[in-house]
Structure 1
Amino acid sequence: MATRRTVLKGTAALAGAVVATTTGLAPAAQAHTGGGRPKANVLLVHGAWVDGSSWNAVTAILQRQGYTVVCVQLPLTSLADDVAWTRHVLAERLQGPTVLAGHSYGGAVISGAATGVPNAVGLVYASAFAPDEGETLGGLNAQFPAPPGLAFVQPDSLGFLWFDPAAIPANFAPDIPLADARVLAAVQKPIAAQCFGDPAGPPAWKSLRSWALVSTQDRMINPDLERFMAKRSGATTIEVRSSHASPASHPDKVAGLIVAAARAART
């Protein structure tokens, strides 16, 4: 039987083969304002059990407003892997000032990926973690009453965590259409359990301005934990009666925070 190590080695080998045949790709073009000044780019980072398509509604809103948007597809194999991949995408695919937005686990990723990066100009946390250096997501969760949705997380033989498909509509995304929630359950992307035990590195929110959306009906991250992290980071914060899936259920609110961050970067 394949082990988690051999699976990841195979994935890395495939990625290397693809890179070897696709060098020289041009980065996404940066959009400009009417006055000729470049708009900040937007890099969107998904969380656990979803992929970049979880940002589709937000992406469409931002593109209609003329923003250049790239959605990262995380490997979800470790926090270090995901931070490194996000930094790679930021360096390879975007030029100029860039706002990074993270949903859920993606908040931990952008906190590390934007640290020390000159063109990172703002952070947006949507129902997301914002750990300090040395903290783990499991440790942060333990500081507050456990959110009920975590009871439906199931480990597999390779050390990845899946979400019980039948529980996703009621716990992960109860405020999107039921048919969409069922699709979300079918296409979920598992996350390595170690991602919740990996200590975070130095966070970018200590040097960059940040914005946060707290989901008051979140069943995956305790809303009080979201409030604690937002306050600690000094984030401009809004509270929305939203489930954990705020980029899908309240894309206008999330996009509004991203636009606010992008506009602040030009002042």
Structure 2
Amino acid sequence: MPLPTIVLVHGAWADNASWNPVITSLRERGYTVLGAPNLLRGAVWDSTYVGAFLAQHTSGPVVLAGHSYGGAVISGAALKGGDVRALVYVDAFIPEVGEAIVDILPGSGSALAVPDPTSVLDIVAYPGAPEGDVDTYLKRETVDNSFAQDLSEDVRDLVYTTQRPLALAANTTPLDAVAWKSLPSWALIGTEDRIIPPATQRRMAERANATIVETPAGHVSMLAAADVVAGVIAAAAESVDVEDAPVVA
């Protein structure tokens, strides 16, 4: 029986290597897996870019999974390219239309929802930035204490050392349409997440009518509980009827 293609979208301060253990697990189950580049510039632009990736790099049904900020990106990208049949949110934002990340975290208890962002982030200028925009990096203590606190010291060091910057504008850009309103969704919630607290994830997942799975992991469940994450993605894939895919001449 043919299987859908699985496309993974990484989150902020990361790249596709953050999915490596999950990719290995899914490939062992027989799935074709691709990692889509996430530019980390803003939800509208990033979702458009991923939509173009889907249109040009996939054929047939797709299961689209996103981690953290990548959840906002897949919510838009699924409407912009490819034959996306299901969404999987991993420790992720699941925004409503018109809702930016900056609207979600205040009052949640997130380690990032602090009066002074420079206490948890390093903020730097980047060439060609729109007026007022900057790049943000996680401070080492933020990685160690909040972002990846359940991982080994060596892995935490790699997370810190290899991080890619998230533009501040990415937190303030809302989407004008979201795919979870029309596609079945799954949500993996790390119950030890200190970046998007579990209660906040659960509220968004319930709003999206997502199938919820919880695991005792922090914000990077893909590294802390790769087999659980792969299992949730595989469950979404198993729900897809590949036989009804349109035939492309």
TM-score normalised by the chain length of structure 2: 0.88
Instruction: Give secondary structure in 2 for the equivalent of 1:131.
Output: coil
What residue in structure 2 maps to residue 100 of structure 1? Answer: 64
Specify which of 205, 229, 233 is matched with residue 204 of structure 2: 229
Cα distance in 2 for partners of 1:258, 1:196 equals 26
- Kindly indicate whether the alpha-carbon contact (under 8 Å) linking 2:72 and 2:94 is maintained by their aligned counterparts in 1: yes
Which runs of structure 2 are paired with 1:67-106 in the superposition (5 Å)?
A: 67-106=31-70
Cα distance in 2 for partners of 1:75, 1:116 equals 16
1:74 maps to a residue whose letter is N
Cα distance in 2 for partners of 1:90, 1:132 equals 22
1:232 maps to a residue whose letter is R
- Kindly indicate whether the alpha-carbon contact (under 8 Å) linking 2:63 and 2:84 is maintained by their aligned counterparts in 1: yes
> C-alpha displacement at 1:116, in angstroms?
5.9
Specify which of 121, 129, 142 is matched with residue 153 of structure 1: 121
Instruction: Give secondary structure in 1 for the equivalent of 2:105.
Output: helix
> C-alpha displacement at 1:177, in angstroms?
1.8
TM-score normalised by the chain length of structure 1: 0.83
Identity of aligned residues (%): 37
> C-alpha displacement at 1:117, in angstroms?
4.6
> C-alpha displacement at 1:140, in angstroms?
1.1
Which runs of structure 2 are paired with 1:91-240 in the superposition (5 Å)?
A: 91-115=55-79, 117=81, 119-142=83-106, 144-149=107-112, 151-158=119-126, 159-240=134-215
* 1:40 has 2:4 as partner: yes
Cα distance in 2 for partners of 1:182, 1:81 equals 30
> C-alpha displacement at 1:221, in angstroms?
0.9
Larger Rg: 1
Specify which of 232, 237, 242 is matched with residue 217 of structure 2: 242
Residues 74-115 of structure 1, C-alpha deviation per residue, up to 9 Å, x if partnerless?
111121221111111111111100000000000000000002
Higher RCO structure (Cα 8 Å, ≥6 apart): 2
Cα distance in 1 for partners of 2:75, 2:43 equals 11
1:140 maps to a residue whose letter is I
RMSD: 1.4
Q: For structure 2, which runs of at least 5 residues remain unmatched after alignment? A: 114-118, 127-133, 243-249
**Which protein has the bigger helix share?**
1
- Kindly indicate whether the alpha-carbon contact (under 8 Å) linking 1:124 and 1:261 is maintained by their aligned counterparts in 2: yes
Instruction: Give secondary structure in 2 for the equivalent of 1:200.
Output: coil
> C-alpha displacement at 1:73, in angstroms?
1.8
Q: For structure 1, which runs of at least 5 residues remain unmatched after alignment? A: 1-32
